[in-house]
Amino acid sequence: TATTMCSLDEPEKRIDPVVVQNYENYEFKHTFKYNKNKLSVDKGDLRKFVRQIKKDLKDGRQSITINIYSSASKVPTQTFGTNEKLAQVRAENMKYDLINHFKKKLADKVNVVIVSSKVDGPEYSEDAGNKHKYEPYQFVELKTE
């Protein structure tokens, strides 16, 4: 936080102090189990993430952008047809939930953007039960700016 004050030679002319505050940017990442694609903004670390954003906006932050990055592993999915579709659903669900969460009072200050949805990770080798191999690539990640 920085504060500055300036006075002119004329006594009637005074410039009020201006407080400049830099706000922290936040990150959140959730790793999904196979074919899972939805989170609740009212639970766990995602709840903490949105609470911090609300606090900053209440404290004077003018606006915030939440960037969404999502991924699906290369383990085939029949439920979604393609892994690209699963990654896209994860991103869209997160965007919808965040917009819904902020829509009442803060919609004009919160911008939610899907930056990427991709399929990533090691090639599938008929070992879907190998969670340590594939789960790191089944995620949704949020970054503010």
> Is a pLDDT exceeding 80 seen at residue 42?
yes
Helix (H) or strand (E) holding 47: helix 44-58
**Is the Cβ–Cβ distance between 98 and 46 less than 8 Å?**
no
Instruction: Tell me the pLDDT tens digit for each residue of 87-139.
Output: 999 999 999 999 999 987 888 899 999 999 999 999 999 998 898 999 999 99
Mean pLDDT of the chain: 90
Position 145, amino acid = E
> Is a pLDDT exceeding 90 seen at residue 6?
no
The pLDDT assigned to 104 comes to 79
